[in-house]
């Protein structure tokens, strides 16, 4: 295949899957609404099951639900039939994924789920299938065709199934008022969790802060700034901030005033009333302040005595 043919094939694949997503969106109706309401009102977990490619999609759907406020785990149907059904509680809702609706391993667990009193939601491409007929709710996997040119490999069908799972998760998030802070609680090790859960005091620089007096000359400013290695110097009086001087301020000053700059004091050079933040503020709040004021650093100031206790920079977040 030529480069042009490769790109043409790739774009055609996108087009087929987009058409299937559009069809699936138009096909959503009462069954989808009922599924969202059923899961929302349930006191149990959402157990997602499927095998093969459907299983891979099911794992992702379950992971998305779990990270957005809906307790969920994935159960392999073959393992379920050999003991894992013991993990299924009576209040749990089971979401079974099978494009044909005739996957043997899934059909085998239906009698147990019925006896256990579990609600069953089926995601299939065949409304007349055994799985669809035995489910309380059937959400159709509507596609125009598989993107696979042989119509064999699950492609459009898995894309649509994944989108339906995402739609379930998003609807449940809105119903439950799930917020950014809640998401962070489930992702404490990621960047989102760090910014939302961590405090400025945990990441601020507090050793050898570059503090200078208002009377300090430019040579002293440069020396203290170099030793502090923060790209700034803080003009302070009795531990309270009066102003800030950044390395950018120095460059612009030297370009503008040249040798005359060395006759100036820190008070002549500084930007007065620097932006400060309390140590208990979140990294997210610090980041937002820096973005709003278009700065790279904030002075951390104790709320009780207004003393400078640290510096937080955008590179720390």
Give the start-end residues of each E strand in the chain.
46-49, 72-75, 93-97, 119-124, 137-140, 211-212, 232-237, 240-246, 271-272, 276-277, 297-301, 308-313
Write out pLDDT tens, residues 273-302: 999 999 999 888 898 999 999 999 999 999
Q: Where are the domains of the chain?
A: 3-178, 200-316
Q: Contact, 102 vs 131, CB < 8 A?
A: yes
- pLDDT-derived band at 182, boundaries 50, 70, 90: low
**Does residue 75 have a pLDDT over 60?**
yes
Which ranges in 42-98 belong to alpha helices (H)? 53-67, 77-80
CATH architecture of 200-316: Roll (3.10)
Q: Contact, 233 vs 262, CB < 8 A?
A: no
Q: What is the pTM of this model?
A: 0.68
Just give the CATH number of 3-178. 3.40.50.10490
**Does residue 121 have a pLDDT over 90?**
yes
Residue whose token pair is 């507090």: 206
Write out pLDDT tens, residues 214-264: 999 999 999 999 999 999 999 999 999 999 999 999 999 999 999 899 999
Across the strands, what pairs with 244? 234, 271
């Amino acid at each position: 295949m030529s480069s042009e043919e490769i790109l043409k094939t790739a774009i055609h694949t996108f087009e087929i899957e987009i058409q299937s997503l559009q069809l699936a969106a138009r096909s959503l109706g009462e069954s989808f609404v009922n599924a969202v309401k059923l899961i929302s009102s349930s006191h149990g977990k959402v157990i997602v099951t499927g095998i093969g490619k459907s299983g891979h999609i099911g794992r992702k759907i379950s992971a998305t639900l779990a990270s957005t406020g809906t307790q969920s785990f994935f159960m392999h149907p073959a393992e379920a039939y050999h003991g894992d059904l013991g993990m299924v509680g009576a209040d749990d809702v089971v979401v079974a994924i099978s494009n044909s609706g005739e996957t043997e391993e899934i059909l085998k667990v239906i009698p147990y789920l019925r006896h256990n009193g579990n609600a069953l939601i089926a995601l299939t491409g065949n409304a007349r299938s055994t799985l669809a007929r035995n489910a309380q709710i059937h959400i159709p996997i509507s596609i125009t065709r598989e993107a696979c040119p042989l119509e064999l490999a699950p492609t459009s069908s898995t894309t649509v199934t994944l989108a339906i799972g995402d739609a379930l998760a998003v609807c449940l998030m809105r119903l439950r008022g799930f917020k950014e802070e809640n998401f962070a609680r489930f992702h404490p090790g990621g960047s989102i969790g760090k910014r939302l859960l961590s405090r400025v005091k945990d990441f601020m620089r507090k050793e050898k802060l570059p503090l200078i007096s208002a009377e300090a000359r430019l040579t002293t400013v440069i020396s203290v700034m170099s030793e502090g290695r923060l790209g700034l110097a803080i003009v302070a009086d009795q531990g309270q901030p009066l102003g800030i001087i950044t390395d950018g301020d120095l460059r612009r000053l030297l370009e503008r005033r040249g040798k005359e700059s060395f006759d100036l004091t820190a008070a002549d050079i500084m930007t007065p009333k620097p932006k400060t933040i309390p140590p208990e503020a979140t990294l997210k709040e610090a980041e937002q302040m820096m973005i709003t004021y278009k700065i790279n650093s904030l002075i951390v100031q104790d709320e009780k005595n207004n003393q400078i206790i640290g510096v937080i920079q955008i590179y720390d977040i």
